[in-house]
Amino acid sequence: MSQRYARRDDRRVVVTGLGVVSPYGRGCPAYWHGLSQGCCILGPLSLFPTEGFRSGIGGEVSAAITRTLGRAHRSRATRFLVAAAEEAVGHAGLGAAELAAAAVSIGGAGGGMLEVEAWYWARYHQHENKRQRAALRSMTPAAQTDALACQLRIGGPRESPILACSSSAAAIATVADLIETGVVDVGLAGGVDTLTRLCFMGFNALKLLDTQSCRPFAHDRRGMSLGEGAAVLVLESWRHATARGAPIRAGVAGCGISSDAFHPTAPPTDAEGAVRAMREALARAHLTPADIVYVNAHGTGTVQNDRAEAVALEAVFGAGKVLVSATKSLIGHTMGAAGALEAVATILALETGLLPPTANLWEPDPAIPFDCIPHAARPCSLDCAMSNSFGFGGQNVSLIVLHPDVVG
């Protein structure tokens, strides 16, 4: 593949830093250890009561871990996000001058809603605490991005894209665009979402939560499990990264963005929008389907979504032509953060030559014509891989990442 990878321009995008907060704990090592061990961390939720709902489980960041994440007066989302970004910036070795000109784009869906819910619940029951009202300052997703920019003194273009579950994948795609078109040399891109009552109630109302741990691509799949976390990637132009001797962890070869214009919550059966996103990513990366060995699937575990994604993968790559896994089976669906967390998982798979597995896949769905890497990580040397993210409202984003050896 390396011989065929055509991009050699100075503005190609590379990844020089990664940071994660996940239900496994703080940091990329804990995240990768959990994923590569196939350790499903879904368990009973403690953040809020779940009586009366279909499911009481999810991928929660424990209180013990959360206590180690920055200032307690901040929203849970801000604490996750800042911790992930500090790790990424530390890996990349970015200094104050670089941060002052850097872009930052953080995708999410719920923002600081967990704390606002507490205020609103109390207000409804006429127990309003004026101190809880301070949570309103961090209610919107943009407030988390603002807090991060303030903390790290990031002074370039700033965005908070909201594309439901593909928000953070879109953040990566749009920051990569800013680098490729010469607006900035460096950008932080990622996402954050925490478990909230609102989200839990919503997927419960839609009957999309599995009562057990989710089982993407399984014949007996019954829905998703929710999770929470944050992931941040430092993206740079190849020229800028090499000029400062930064460690190149991966390349972002191409990103595709499309919309279905079909239904508020369901994908079309022919997954036409997802197909367009994947093909656009391939075209922008100057790659062919045969170059892709592994796809980190959106793989939520719902009957419709997994079927539609398999249809799209078959249309783009052909049945059985790529290895596929769904890391949501291990940590749950982290909503707006999922795209960035899965991009990090895909990069770590490239780095280590180990593909993370799909947990709970005891009975693969015969209608899914792919090896979905059940239970145990699979050794596999690969040069490039794809990460898919699809969101409510028909929001499709596909990212292609490259092993650093083929970036240049």
Partner 1 sequence: MAALPAYRAVITGIGCTSPFGVGGYTLVADVLQANTTAIRPITGFPTDGLSSCLGAEVPAACLPVTEEGRRWSRLSQMTVLACRQAVAEAGLCGSDTLSQAGLVVGSEFGDTRSTEAFSLGFLRKGPLGLSPLLFPSTVMNTMASTTSMALGIKGPMLTLNQAGVAGELAVVRALALLHAGRAPVVIACGVDELFPLLYATLVQLQVLSPRGCGEEACRPFDQRHNGLVLGEGATAVVIESPAHARAREAPILAEVQSLWWRGIPTPPGRYPALRQGRLQMLPQAWRGAGVCPEDIGLAYLSGCGDPQHDALELACLAAAFETHRPLLTSVTHLTGDYGGLGAFRVAAAAVTVGTGIAPILDYLCQPMRADVRFVVQPVAPPPTVVLVHGLARGGMHAALLVERPQGADDGVE
Residues 6 or more apart whose CB falls under 8 angstroms from that of 107 comprise 141, 160, 161, 162, 163, 166, 167, 168, 169, 170, 171, 190, 191, 336, 337, 339, 340
Does the active-site annotation cover 298? yes
Does the active-site annotation cover 333? yes
CB of 30 to partner 1, least distance (A): 28
Pair 76, 99: CB distance under 8 Å:
no
CB of 174 to partner 1, least distance (A): 7
Residue closer to partner 1 by CB (options 351, 392) is: 392
Residue closer to partner 1 by CB (options 22, 138) is: 138
Q: How far apart are CA 354 and CA 55, in angstroms?
A: 32
Instruction: Return the structure tokens found at 180.
Output: 């490729």
CB of 173 to partner 1, least distance (A): 8
CB of 113 to partner 1, least distance (A): 8
Among 296, 292, 298, 290, residue whose Cα is nearest residue 253: 292
Q: Strand 13-22 to strand 229-237: parallel, antiparallel, or no bridges (unpaired)? A: antiparallel
Kindly provide the b/e burial profile for residues 136-166, where b requires at least 16 CB atoms within 10 angstroms of the residue's own CB: eebbbbbbbbbbbbebbebebbbbbbbbbbb
CB of 274 to partner 1, least distance (A): 12
Catalytic residue (one of 240, 298, 372, 384) = 298
Residue closer to partner 1 by CB (options 274, 324) is: 274
CB of 163 to partner 1, least distance (A): 6
Residue closer to partner 1 by CB (options 261, 376) is: 261
Pair 115, 81: CB distance under 8 Å:
no
Q: How far apart are CA 291 and CA 399, in angstroms?
A: 14
Say if residue 72 is exposed, middle or buried (CB neighbours under 10 Å; 0-12, 13-18, 19+): exposed
CB of 305 to partner 1, least distance (A): 14
Residue closer to partner 1 by CB (options 183, 367) is: 183
Q: How far apart are CA 174 and CA 317, in angstroms?
A: 25
138: phi then psi, degrees, rounded to nearest 5: -110, 25
| SS (HEC) of 3-41 | CCCCCCCCCCEEEEEEEEEECCEECHHHHHHHHHCCCCC
Residue closer to partner 1 by CB (options 78, 358) is: 78
Residue closer to partner 1 by CB (options 251, 273) is: 273
Strand partners for 371? 323
Catalytic machinery residues: 165, 298, 333
